[in-house]
Amino acid sequence: MSMDREFRLGNRELEILSVVWELGDATVHDVCERLKRPGAYTTILTMMRTLESKGYLTHHSFGRTFVYRTVVSLEEVQTARLLEVRKRLFGGSSLSLVSSMVNNSPMSETELSELRSLLEQACEARNRLADQAPVDNPPRPTAGVGIRMA
């Protein structure tokens, strides 16, 4: 699935996907047993079939049992959903998003240290890319060149 795709998933769908991500392969019964909020087997089966039709799950048969596996990774969904939040709620600004997170939710010293480290790595990576970028200064035409006077 493309990262450009929006992952439109309800809370229950995310809960089901989380169980399948955790287990790797899962039957409907496996999912039903691990859901935080119990649900009827047939309801969970229907939701998993819907997730499959939407392209989030796939299955193979093991005897008469369908064994499901995710098609998308947790990281893909997290990234796509976060980019959507950044776009819709923060006007596309990563700075506003991170600022809101830092200022409105307590962070441990360990988390702050890890955040500093991530920012330093991002700066270093950007600098490396800037150093490797070819200089794109095509020669400018000299005034009057290519102009015919009649």
Instruction: Give 64-79 pLDDT, tens digit per residue.
Output: 999 999 999 999 999 9
Averaged pLDDT, 99-122: 91
Enumerate the H helices of the chain as residue ranges: 11-23, 28-34, 41-53, 74-90, 94-104, 109-132
pLDDT at position 14 is 95
d(CA 49, CA 54): 9
d(CA 101, CA 90): 12
